[in-house]
Protein backbone atom coordinates (compact mmCIF):
# COMPACT_ATOMS: atom_id res chain seq x y z
CA UNK A 1 0.00 0.00 0.00
CA UNK A 2 2.82 2.34 0.85
CA UNK A 3 4.37 1.60 -2.55
CA UNK A 4 1.16 2.57 -4.35
CA UNK A 5 0.90 5.76 -2.31
CA UNK A 6 4.53 6.72 -3.07
CA UNK A 7 4.04 5.92 -6.75
CA UNK A 8 0.95 8.18 -6.84
CA UNK A 9 2.82 11.01 -5.06
CA UNK A 10 5.74 10.59 -7.47
CA UNK A 11 3.47 10.78 -10.56
CA UNK A 12 1.66 13.83 -9.16
CA UNK A 13 5.00 15.53 -8.53
CA UNK A 14 6.26 14.77 -12.05
CA UNK A 15 2.96 15.98 -13.54
CA UNK A 16 3.17 19.27 -11.60
CA UNK A 17 6.81 19.81 -12.64
CA UNK A 18 5.88 19.24 -16.30
CA UNK A 19 2.93 21.65 -16.04
CA UNK A 20 5.16 24.24 -14.36
CA UNK A 21 7.82 23.89 -17.09
CA UNK A 22 5.23 24.24 -19.86
CA UNK A 23 3.78 27.33 -18.16
CA UNK A 24 7.23 28.92 -17.76
CA UNK A 25 8.15 28.14 -21.36
CA UNK A 26 4.87 29.55 -22.68
CA UNK A 27 5.32 32.70 -20.57
CA UNK A 28 8.86 33.20 -21.83
CA UNK A 29 7.80 32.75 -25.46
CA UNK A 30 4.92 35.18 -24.98
CA UNK A 31 7.22 37.80 -23.41
CA UNK A 32 9.79 37.47 -26.20
CA UNK A 33 7.09 37.63 -28.87
CA UNK A 34 5.59 40.79 -27.39
CA UNK A 35 8.87 42.69 -27.18
CA UNK A 36 10.39 41.75 -30.52
CA UNK A 37 10.75 44.62 -32.99
CA UNK A 38 8.89 44.18 -36.28
CA UNK A 39 11.02 43.18 -39.26
CA UNK A 40 9.30 45.70 -41.51
CA UNK A 41 11.43 48.19 -43.40
CA UNK A 42 9.62 51.44 -42.84
CA UNK A 43 11.72 53.26 -45.45
CA UNK A 44 13.64 51.96 -48.44
CA UNK A 45 15.53 53.22 -51.47
CA UNK A 46 14.21 51.70 -54.69
CA UNK A 47 16.38 51.87 -57.80
CA UNK A 48 14.79 53.63 -60.78
CA UNK A 49 15.60 52.68 -64.36
CA UNK A 50 16.57 56.12 -65.68
CA UNK A 51 15.57 55.52 -69.36
CA UNK A 52 12.07 54.59 -68.16
CA UNK A 53 11.40 57.92 -66.38
CA UNK A 54 8.27 59.70 -67.60
CA UNK A 55 8.83 62.99 -65.74
CA UNK A 56 10.58 65.36 -68.17
CA UNK A 57 11.67 67.75 -65.40
CA UNK A 58 13.57 64.97 -63.64
CA UNK A 59 15.10 63.94 -66.99
CA UNK A 60 16.26 67.53 -67.56
CA UNK A 61 17.94 67.71 -64.16
CA UNK A 62 19.79 64.41 -64.36
CA UNK A 63 20.85 64.85 -68.00
CA UNK A 64 22.33 68.33 -67.43
CA UNK A 65 25.92 68.15 -68.69
CA UNK A 66 26.97 70.86 -66.19
CA UNK A 67 25.67 68.97 -63.16
CA UNK A 68 28.52 68.62 -60.66
CA UNK A 69 29.70 65.39 -59.14
CA UNK A 70 27.70 64.62 -55.99
CA UNK A 71 24.38 63.61 -54.52
CA UNK A 72 21.13 65.51 -55.15
CA UNK A 73 17.59 65.46 -53.78
CA UNK A 74 14.76 65.84 -56.28
CA UNK A 75 11.31 66.43 -54.77
CA UNK A 76 8.03 66.30 -56.62
CA UNK A 77 4.55 66.78 -55.18
CA UNK A 78 4.29 63.09 -54.42
CA UNK A 79 7.83 61.64 -54.25
CA UNK A 80 11.40 62.23 -53.15
CA UNK A 81 14.30 61.01 -55.25
CA UNK A 82 18.02 60.74 -54.51
CA UNK A 83 20.32 61.14 -57.50
CA UNK A 84 23.95 60.04 -57.32
CA UNK A 85 25.80 61.87 -60.09
CA UNK A 86 29.17 60.22 -60.48
CA UNK A 87 31.44 62.31 -62.65
CA UNK A 88 34.68 61.74 -60.75
CA UNK A 89 33.33 59.23 -58.25
CA UNK A 90 31.84 55.79 -58.48
CA UNK A 91 29.04 55.35 -55.90
CA UNK A 92 28.29 51.90 -54.49
CA UNK A 93 26.82 50.07 -51.48
CA UNK A 94 23.96 52.55 -51.26
CA UNK A 95 21.41 51.97 -48.52
CA UNK A 96 19.32 53.86 -46.00
CA UNK A 97 18.22 53.49 -42.42
CA UNK A 98 15.91 55.37 -40.12
CA UNK A 99 17.33 56.85 -36.91
CA UNK A 100 14.59 58.44 -34.82
CA UNK A 101 12.98 60.88 -37.29
CA UNK A 102 16.02 61.17 -39.57
CA UNK A 103 16.54 59.22 -42.76
CA UNK A 104 20.24 58.43 -43.17
CA UNK A 105 21.44 57.63 -46.67
CA UNK A 106 24.78 55.82 -46.83
CA UNK A 107 27.08 55.28 -49.78
CA UNK A 108 30.66 54.46 -50.58
CA UNK A 109 32.55 56.39 -53.20
CA UNK A 110 35.76 55.68 -55.08
CA UNK A 111 37.54 57.96 -57.51
CA UNK A 112 37.16 57.05 -61.15
CA UNK A 113 38.07 58.73 -64.43
CA UNK A 114 35.96 59.81 -67.40
CA UNK A 115 33.03 57.48 -66.94
CA UNK A 116 29.85 59.31 -65.93
CA UNK A 117 27.61 57.25 -63.69
CA UNK A 118 24.12 58.30 -62.67
CA UNK A 119 22.03 56.34 -60.18
CA UNK A 120 18.51 57.38 -59.27
CA UNK A 121 16.54 56.11 -56.28
CA UNK A 122 13.04 56.84 -55.10
CA UNK A 123 12.43 56.96 -51.35
CA UNK A 124 9.60 54.57 -50.52
CA UNK A 125 7.98 54.66 -47.09
CA UNK A 126 4.94 53.21 -45.39
CA UNK A 127 4.13 56.57 -43.84
CA UNK A 128 4.69 59.97 -45.47
CA UNK A 129 5.65 61.67 -42.22
CA UNK A 130 8.01 59.01 -40.96
CA UNK A 131 11.12 61.23 -41.25
CA UNK A 132 11.68 64.96 -40.81
CA UNK A 133 15.14 65.27 -42.31
CA UNK A 134 17.53 63.45 -44.62
CA UNK A 135 21.24 63.10 -43.85
CA UNK A 136 23.90 61.90 -46.24
CA UNK A 137 26.97 59.87 -45.29
CA UNK A 138 29.56 59.04 -47.92
CA UNK A 139 32.41 56.81 -46.82
CA UNK A 140 31.05 57.13 -43.25
CA UNK A 141 31.47 60.93 -43.29
CA UNK A 142 28.59 63.39 -43.19
CA UNK A 143 28.23 65.34 -46.43
CA UNK A 144 25.83 67.94 -47.75
CA UNK A 145 23.63 67.34 -50.74
CA UNK A 146 24.83 69.34 -53.75
CA UNK A 147 21.35 70.74 -54.32
CA UNK A 148 17.69 70.14 -53.58
CA UNK A 149 15.39 70.48 -56.59
CA UNK A 150 11.68 71.03 -55.98
CA UNK A 151 9.64 70.45 -59.10
Model-wide pTM > 0.75 = no
Are 83 and 120 spatial neighbours (Cβ–Cβ below 8 Å)? yes
| Secondary structure (DSSP) of 42-83 | SEEEEEE-GGG---HHHHHHHT-TTPPSEEEEEE-SS-EEEE
Regarding whether 23 and 75 lie in a shared domain, the answer is no
Residue 117 banded pLDDT, cuts 50, 70, 90: confident
b vs e for 83-109, b when ≥16 Cβ sit within 10 Å of the residue's Cβ? bbbbeebebeebebeeeeeebbbbbeb
- Return the pLDDT at 34: 53
Average pLDDT value for the chain = 85
Regarding whether 65 and 24 lie in a shared domain, the answer is no
Regarding whether 62 and 31 lie in a shared domain, the answer is no
Regarding whether 88 and 54 lie in a shared domain, the answer is yes
Domain count, the chain: 2
Domain extent at residue 114? 43-150
pLDDT in tens, 122-145: 999 877 778 889 999 999 999 999
Amino acid sequence: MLVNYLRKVWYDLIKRIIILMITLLASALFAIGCTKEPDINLVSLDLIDIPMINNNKIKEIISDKNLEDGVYIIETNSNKYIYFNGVNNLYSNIYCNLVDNTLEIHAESNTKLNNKQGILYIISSLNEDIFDEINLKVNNKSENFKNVYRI
